[in-house]
């Protein structure tokens, strides 16, 4: 299976954000149950299916070169910069936990400070 392009990753991120926005978040406002969405957007009918899919995705990602991984990490960071506030709002509305402002800051922190492939670059130093 070929790797995802940056545009495909961005489209997936946009679909996830749109899906989250459509749920409403408040009790009683969930989407009505419909046909199974097994596998679509990472939604599975069982934990076993999700674990198998995660393993397959990891193997696919593991087979990619660092250049492709860099583009994926960059696309994720870009999507988080664009949609992090909306995701923070959805998380706060859905759970009722924490403060929206703190969730925004947390999203910004993990977007900018979570290491990407730069930790995989050989630098000739051990123990640094």
* 76-108 confidence digits (pLDDT tens): 999 999 999 999 999 999 999 999 999 999 999
Residue 96 CA: distances (Å) to CA of 19, 21, 26, 118, 126: 19, 16, 9, 36, 44
| Intervals of the chain under pLDDT 70 | 1-2, 22-39, 121-128
Is the pTM for the entire model greater than 0.75? no
Given CA atoms 40, 45, 51, 52 in this order, what sign does their dihedral have? negative
Buried b (16+ CB within 10 A) or exposed e, 47-67: eeeeeeeeeeeeeeeeeeeee
Nearest to 61 by CA among 50, 52, 72: 72
């Amino acid at each position: 299976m070929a790797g995802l392009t940056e545009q495909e990753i961005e489209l997936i991120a946009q679909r996830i954000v749109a899906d989250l926005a459509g749920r409403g978040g408040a009790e009683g406002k969930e989407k009505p149950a419909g046909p199974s969405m097994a596998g679509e957007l990472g939604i599975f009918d069982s934990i076993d299916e999700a674990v198998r899919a995660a393993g397959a995705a990891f193997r696919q990602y593991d087979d990619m070169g660092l250049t492709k991984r860099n583009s994926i990490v960059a696309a994720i960071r870009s999507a988080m910069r664009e949609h992090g506030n909306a995701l923070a709002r959805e998380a706060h509305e859905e759970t009722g936990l924490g403060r929206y402002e703190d969730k925004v800051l947390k999203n910004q922190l993990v977007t900018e400070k979570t290491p990407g492939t730069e930790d995989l670059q050989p630098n000739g130093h051990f123990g640094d």
